Structure 1
Amino acid sequence: MRLSPDQIIFWQMGFIKLNATIVFTWLLMLFLVIGSILITRRLSKDLARSRGQNLLEIIITNIEQQLKEVGLQSPRDYLGFLGTLFLFIAFASLSTIIPGYEPPTGSLSTTVALALCVFVAVPLYGIVRLGIVGYLRSYMEPTFIMLPFNLIGEISRTIALAVRLFGNMMSGALIIAILLAITPLIFPIVMTLLGLLTGMVQAYIFFILAAVYIAAATGSNKHQIKQSSHLKQ
């Protein structure tokens, strides 16, 4: 029984392998790029707008509002990165209805890569927002003794992001594979639909967790509190 798309090898020369994880990851990225171009190619800045554009703007506005509630005061600055993570994970699971398709998120290498993207983005956004000195100072709050614990926390939450997403995505695919072997066709179809819902939930959770980590790194809440106290004075 296959536990990961890494086990499907399309081409190999020595230690260089082209497996299903790499192929389906690039196909999914190509699909997202082409889809984004087609959706946004006819956007209008005038008052006369299509229904599709109005719907798209409503969705984006609601997402920005939710990011503000998380703690990001300038959600437009982070929407591209966070939205890409959400769409990749969501479509990776939604595409399981395609025969022969293997979701790349069923591989630990893919989920580690996604977690590393968050791991790199968090300090980058923090440095841009607070400056390198201000960001590094946040690791020593409320006292310098907390420095090693904060560093361990950064690493551990990255590992947790990768392992949790991998475990949830792989377990759903594994359950469906087992049911296909021991039960009639109709029940695995129901489980597949449930797996699609689970994939959307996992995409949303990953999206929110990444937003929370960035909000903590940028110190958005602290910055807002300082501005409010300054205005009161």
Structure 2
Amino acid sequence: MNDVGLGVENIAVLGPLHISISLVTSICLTIIVSAVGWLLTRNLSRSPSTLQAMVEAIVSVLEEAVAQVAGHHTQRIMPFIASLWIFLVFANLLGLVPGLDSPTRDLSVTTALAITVFLSVHWFGIRTQGLRRYLAHYLTPNPILLPFHLISEVTRTVALALRLFGNLMSLEMAALLVLMVAGFLVPIPLMMLHIVEALVQAYIFGMLALIYVAGGIQSQEERQTV
């Protein structure tokens, strides 16, 4: 972990576009995770090796978690939610690597993730029910509630971004303060705390995203059956 602060270092500026270390780290992490995923799944066998069995077990756990919320829409949204979970786990744990910081300690990164979830809710809802039926749910049970529906969409997106950013930032600040006071006498408990908190925050963000996406799909079905 490097020094923790609210400022994010930019490595390049292209007009109004600021290229930060967090952005570059996120892109590199995405490429690496995608490449590893491709390598692990390109030669699947009916008689799985130990590595394939481990990968299949992880996928099964993720699929079961999605199925408990999304029901028969699991296969539709599983790739998005699983990818989000996997990215967040590695992104949150990246702060344990000497010289690197977790990209999720950058508000711009968590905001981008929250906006991705926001857009995905509407994308899956429209694909499942069609544009007209999807938009109609904002007028139920009464059109007067439309402003409140819109406000809730914005506030939950903001809360999603701030929650992950705040928790990761506070975790790294707490780690830095402990190291400053106690030196390196307590590195192992500190690392364990970081690992647990990183996994918990990845789970919470992914589960909230899953609930929002599944809710956007299933609310339309409930309206159809009324």
With normalisation by structure 2, the TM-score equals: 0.89
- 1:186 and 2:185 correspond: yes
Report 1:1-233 matches (<5 A).
Answer: 2-4=4-6, 6=8, 8-11=9-12, 17-44=18-45, 47-219=46-218, 222=221, 226=225
Question: 1:102 aligns to what SS in structure 2?
Answer: coil
How large is the RMSD of aligned CA atoms in angstroms? 2.4
Q: Per-residue deviation at 1:173?
A: 0.6
Q: Is the 8 A contact 1:108 1:162 kept in 2?
A: yes
Moved over 3 A (4+): 9-18, 220-226
Q: Secondary structure at the match of 1:208?
A: helix
Change (3 A) 1:187 1:123: same
Q: Quick check: 2:12–2:18 contact (8 Å CA) kept in 1? A: yes
Aligned residues: 224
Tell me which amino acid in the other structure corresponds to 2:40: I
Gaps in structure 1 of 5+ consecutive residues = none
Equivalent residues of 2:25, 2:103 under 8 A apart: yes
1:124-155, Cα deviation, whole Å (9 max, x unpaired): 10001111111111111111111111111111
* SS at 2:101 equivalent: coil
**Taking structure 1 as reference, are residues 220 and 68 closer, same or farther at Cα in structure 2, changes over 3 Å only?**
farther
Which stretch of structure 1 is more off in the superposition, 207-216 or 180-189?
180-189
Q: Is the 8 A contact 2:81 2:206 kept in 1?
A: yes
Distance 1:36 1:211, change over 3 A: same
- Give the percent of matched residue pairs that are identical in Structure 1 and Structure 2: 33
User: Which has the higher Rg, Structure 1 or Structure 2?
Assistant: 1
How far apart are 1:4 and its partner, in Å? Answer: 4.0
Amino acid at match of 1:194: L
Structure 2 stretches of 5 or more lacking a match? none
TM normalised by structure 1 equals 0.86
